[in-house]
Amino acid sequence: MSVAPPVPRLPSLNALRAFEASARLGGFAQAAAELQVTPGAVAAQIKALEQEIGAALFVRHAKGVRLTATGQRALPGFVAAFDQLGTAVRDLRRDAAPGRIHIAALPALAQLWLAPRLPQLREKLPEIDISVTALETPPNLKRVPFDLCLFYCDSVPDNGIAFSGDELLPVCTPVLAKALKQPGDLKEAVCLTDTAWADDWRIWADEAMPGEGFAPRGPVFSLYALAVEEALNGAGVLMAHRSLVADQLAAGTLVAPLAAVVPLQRQICLWTLPASRGKGTAGQVLQALRQMG
């Protein structure tokens, strides 16, 4: 009578994921933010993993954690393994729904740059269903089920394209523009600010009116698109990103009353994974948006 030996049990996938994220990002709190759990949950998973394998993976100290030699040796293999797992899941989703594309985009770019182009994109690619999710930071395409990323970047990512640079300039309605003849006139104006780019006014003022200690006064918005809408409503002067208000400037609903413009290093970039750069639905969407400009 044969006796089957017990099959060795693998550690919990969640525990392995907690280790990989903590080791790659340099701490439990950073891993918790990426995995959308609490730091305590990450710490508990790693403690259980250490107990199961019988070795310490991190040294705990007052300022955080650092990898042990065992953890350092293990990290590259786990990074590659989870990258490969993410790729396999993405390929599975793609095979199950080949006509679907999911774009991750900065909220302002999703609302003000991408949304106006979606009708033409659907017309060019009627067989593709395009979903858009607004995120504040670019996701790791190797790990999450997105096909394309649309964000501002200081340099063009690998497997990506750049659409345009960006520059700061005050904009308002033609009516409000009549009172703005020089930068100093903004001291008496209502200035609209977006929380994500709260330094925009300072960056522009340092170039356009240096040494004057300009401090904008006026309402603050957590959504840039809402700030643009209020500028269109005549609520005040917005420190605009030209790439996001180009249509309004072209239509004359917003105008730039002052000549001072401050170029920014960043540009709008769209990118995907290497395998999707020139083929498949992601490649089709990327090329179609490139043609649209």
- The closest of 188, 191, 180, 183 to 230, measured between CA atoms, is 191
Q: Check residue 1 and give its pLDDT.
A: 55
Q: Check residue 279 and give its pLDDT.
A: 63
Please say which residue of 42, 69, 92 terminates a domain: 92
Question: Could you tell me if residue 1 is inside a domain?
Answer: no
Q: Check residue 277 and give its pLDDT.
A: 52
Q: How many domains does the chain have?
A: 3
Domain at 259, CATH number: 3.40.190.10
The two three-digit tokens of residue 189, written as one number: 């104006």
Domain boundaries, position 236: 165-264
Neighbours of 51 (CB within 10 A): 10
Degrees, nearest 5: CA angle 95-97-101: 110
Q: Is 112 exposed, middle or buried (0-12, 13-18, 19+ CB in 10 A)?
A: buried
What is the rounded CA–CA span in Å between residue 237 and residue 254? Answer: 10
Residues 236, 169 within the same domain: yes
SS3 for the chain, per residue?
CCCCCCCCCCCCHHHHHHHHHHHHHCCHHHHHHHHCCCHHHHHHHHHHHHHHHCCCCEEEECCEEEECHHHHHHHHHHHHHHHHHHHHHHHHHHHHCCCEEEEEECHHHHHHHHHHHHHHHHHHCCCCEEEEEECCCCCCCCCCCCCEEEEEECCCCCCEEEEEEEEEEEEECHHHHCCCCCHHHHHHCCEEEEHHHCCHHHHHHHHHCCCCCCCCCCCEECCHHHHHHHHHCCCCEEEEEHHHHHHHHHHCCCECCCCCCEEEEEEEEEECCHHHCCCHHHHHHHHHHHHHC
Question: Could you tell me if residue 8 is inside a domain?
Answer: no
Residues 79, 112 within the same domain: no
Question: Could you tell me if residue 247 is inside a domain?
Answer: yes
Q: Which residue has the tokens 């993976």?
A: 57
User: Which pTM value belongs to this model?
Assistant: 0.85
Residues 282, 255 within the same domain: no
Q: Check residue 67 and give its pLDDT.
A: 97
Residues 131, 194 within the same domain: no
Q: Check residue 96 and give its pLDDT.
A: 85
Neighbours of 32 (CB within 10 A): 20
Question: Could you tell me if residue 252 is inside a domain?
Answer: yes
Residues 275, 248 within the same domain: no
Question: Could you tell me if residue 212 is inside a domain?
Answer: yes
Degrees, nearest 5: CA angle 278-284-286: 80
For the chain, 293 residues long, give each residue's pLDDT as a single digit of tens.
Answer: 567 778 778 899 999 999 999 999 999 999 999 999 999 999 999 999 999 999 999 999 988 999 999 999 999 999 999 999 988 888 888 888 888 999 999 999 999 999 999 999 999 999 999 999 999 999 989 888 899 999 999 999 988 999 988 999 999 999 999 999 999 999 999 999 999 999 999 999 999 999 888 899 999 999 999 999 999 999 999 999 999 999 999 999 999 999 999 999 999 999 998 765 556 899 999 999 999 98
Please say which residue of 67, 92, 117 terminates a domain: 92
